[in-house]
Chains A and B, each alone.
Chain A
Amino acid sequence: MTRTGKTVSDHPLDSLTLKAESRRREFLDRGFHWFCIATAAMSVVILFVLLGSVLWQGLSQLSWNFLTHYPEANPALAGIGPAIGGTICVCLICGLLSLPVGVATAVFLEEFPPKSKLGRKVHSFIQLNITNLAGVPSVVYGILGLTLFVTMFGWFGSTSEPALEIGGKYYDQFFTAGEKVLLLPVDDPGQPVATVQPGMKAMNSSGEWVDVTVVANRRALPSDPALAEYALILGREAGRIIKPAPWYFRVPFGRSVLAGGLTLMLVVLPIVIISSQEAIRAVPGSLREAGLGLAATRWQIVRNVTLPAAIPGIMTGAILAMSRAIGEAAPILILAGAIFITASPGNLMDGFTVLPLQIYDWAGRPQHEFHNLAAAGIVVLLMILFAFNLVAVLVRQFTQKPLS
Chain B
Amino acid sequence: MAIDTTVSPYRTGVRFRSLRGTYVREWFVRALLGGCSALSVLTTVGIVSVLFFEAYRFFEAPEVTFWGFITGTQWNPLMGAEKTFGVWALVSGTLIVSLIAMLFALPLGLVTAIYLSEYAHPRVRAILKPALEVLAGIPSVVYGFFALTVITPMLKIFSDGFSTYNATAAGLAVGILCIPIVSSLVEDALRAVPQSLRDGAYGLGATRFEVSIRVVVPAALSGIISAFLLAISRAVGETMIVALAAGSRPHLTLDPREDTQTMTGWMVQMALGDVSSFDLAYLSMYAVAALLFVITMVLTVSGNIVRSRYREVYQ
Interface size range on A against B: 35 or more
Q: Are A360 and B240 touching (Cβ within 8 A)?
A: yes
B46/A335 in contact, CB under 8 A = no
- Does chain B have a CB within 8 A of A92? no
Residues in B257-272 with C-beta less than 8 Å from chain A? 264, 267-268, 271-272
Nearest chain A residue, comparing its CB with the CB of B211: A29
A184 sits at the interface (CB 8 A): no
Give the complex CA separation of A28 and B285 in angstroms. Answer: 52
Give the residue of A131, A137, A143, A378 whose beta carbon is less than 8 angstroms from that of B285: A143
Asked if B169 lies at the interface with its beta carbon under 8 angstroms from chain A, I say: no
Interface size on B, residues (CB 8 A): 88
Docked-complex contact A50 and B138, CB < 8 angstroms = yes
Residues A327 and B128 in contact, CB atoms below 8 Å apart = no
Q: Would you call B244 and A364 a contact (CB within 8 A)? A: yes
The interface centre, meaning the residue of A49, A334, A356 with most chain B CB atoms within 10 A of its CB, is: A334
Contact bitstring A209-220, B, C-beta under 8 A = 1, else 0: 000000000000
Which of A129, A329, A335, A381 gathers most chain B CB within 10 Å? A329
Complex contact A334–B150 (CB within 8 A):
no
Residues of A within 8 A of B297 (CB): 132, 135-136
For residue B108, which residue of chain A has the nearest CB?
A39
Residue from the list A36, A40, A273, A333 in contact with B40, Cβ < 8 A? A273
By the criterion CB–CB under 8 Å, are A329 and B141 in contact?
yes
Q: Would you call A297 an interface residue if the criterion is a C-beta within 8 Å of the partner chain's C-beta atoms?
A: yes
Inter-chain contact A329/B139, CB cutoff 8 Å: yes
Docked CA distance A359–B139 (Å): 11
Q: Per-residue CB proximity of B281-315 to A under 8 Å, as 1/0? A: 00001100100110011011101100000000000
Q: Which residues from 11 to 65 on chain A have a C-beta closer than 8 Å to any C-beta of chain B?
A: 25-26, 28-29, 32-33, 35-37, 39-40, 42-44, 46-47, 49-50, 53-54, 57
Structural contact, A143 and B39, CB atoms closer than 8 A: no
A139 on interface, CB distance cutoff 8 Å: yes
Given A32-B209, A50-B142, A299-B26, residue A137 in contact with residue B238 (CB < 8 A): yes
Name the segment of B3-11, B59-67, B69-77, B113-121 touching the other chain. Answer: B113-121
- Segment at the B interface, from A145-153, A198-206, A224-232: A145-153
Instruction: Tell me if B43 is interfacial: C-beta within 8 Å of chain A.
Output: yes
Give CA–CA (A35, B212) in the complex, Å: 14
A134 CA / B299 CA spacing, docked (Å)? 12
How far, in Å, is A301 (CB) from chain B's closest CB?
A: 11
> Would you call the interface of chain B mostly helix, strand, loop, or mixed?
helix
Determine how close the nearest CB of chain B comes to the CB of A268; give it in whole angstroms: 12
Neighbouring A residues of B120 by C-beta, 8 Å: 40
CB <8 Å contact, A126 and B296:
no
A107 within 8 A of B: yes
User: Does B171 make an interface contact (CB < 8 A)?
Assistant: no
Contact B26 A297 (CB under 8 A): yes
Contacts of B26 in A (CB 8 A): 297-299
B137 contacts which of A100, A323, A338 (Cβ < 8 Å)?
A323
Chain A residues near B179: list those with CB within 8 A. Answer: 43
- A395 — which chain B residues lie within 8 A by C-beta? none
CA distance A328 to B34 in the complex (A): 28
Q: Which of B82-90, B155-163, B194-202, B229-237 binds A?
A: B229-237
In the complex, which residues 108-154 of chain A have their Cβ closer than 8 Å to any Cβ of chain B?
108-109, 112, 125-126, 128-144, 146-148, 151
User: Which of A131, A137, A139 has the most B CB atoms < 10 Å from its CB?
Assistant: A137
Closest B residue by C-beta to A338? B272
Question: Do A137 and B264 form a contact, CB below 8 Å, given A50-B142, A143-B285?
Answer: yes
Does B135 sit at the interface, judged by CB under 8 A? yes
Q: What are the residues of chain A within 8 A of B233 when measuring CB–CB?
A: 135, 137
Q: Do residues A360 and B139 form an inter-chain contact, with CB atoms below 8 A?
A: no
A131 — which chain B residues lie within 8 A by C-beta? 304
CB atoms of B239 and A109 under 8 A apart: no
Whether A40 contacts B115 by the Cβ 8 Å rule is yes
A111: nearest chain-B partner, CB-CB: B33
Contacts A136-B293, A139-B237, A378-B142 given; indicate if A126 touches B37 (C-beta within 8 A): yes
Minimal beta-carbon separation of B277 from chain A (angstroms):
7
Q: A137-B239, A139-B289, A151-B277 are in contact. Are A337 and B131 (CB under 8 A)?
A: no
Query: Is A256 located at the chain interface by the 8 A CB criterion?
Result: no
Given known contacts A53-B149, A139-B267, is B111 in contact with A35 (CB within 8 Å)? yes
Return chain B residues, CB-CB under 8 Å to A299.
Answer: 25-26, 29-30
Question: Does B32 sit within 8 A of A, measured CB to CB?
Answer: yes
Which residue of chain B lies nearest to A381 when distances are taken between CB atoms in the complex?
Answer: B139
Kindly list chain B residues whose C-beta atoms are within 8 Å of the C-beta of A269: 39-40, 43
Chain B residue contacts of A148, Cβ below 8 A: 46, 50
Chain B residues 1 to 50 lying within 8 A of chain A, measured CB to CB, are 22-23, 25-26, 29-30, 32-34, 36-41, 43-44, 46-47, 50
Q: Which of B37, B127, B146 contacts A50 (CB 8 A)?
A: B146
CB pair B237–A40 under 8 Å, yes or no, is no
Q: Does B112 contact A (CB under 8 A)?
A: yes
| Chain B 50-108 residues near chain A, CB threshold 8 A | 50-51, 54, 108
The 27 sampled A-B contact pairs (Cβ below 8 Å) are A29-B207, A29-B210, A43-B128, A50-B150, A101-B36, A105-B37, A108-B33, A126-B37, A132-B297, A135-B297, A135-B304, A137-B233, A139-B292, A141-B47, A143-B285, A299-B25, A327-B141, A327-B142, A329-B139, A329-B239, A330-B239, A330-B240, A333-B240, A337-B271, A356-B139, A363-B144, A378-B141
8 further A-B pairs in the complex, CB-CB below 8 A; given A143-B285, A356-B139: A25-B209, A53-B150, A104-B36, A105-B40, A137-B237, A144-B46, A329-B139, A375-B145
Can you list the 3 inter-chain pairs with the closest CB atoms, starting with the nearest? A137-B237, A327-B139, A135-B300
| B residues neighboring A (CB under 8 Å) | 22-23, 25-26, 29-30, 32-34, 36-41, 43-44, 46-47, 50-51, 54, 108, 111-112, 114-116, 119-120, 124, 127-128, 131-132, 134-135, 137-146, 148-150, 176, 179-180, 183, 207-210, 212-213, 230, 233-234, 236-240, 243-244, 264, 267-268, 271-272, 277, 285-286, 289, 292-293, 296-297, 299-301, 303-304
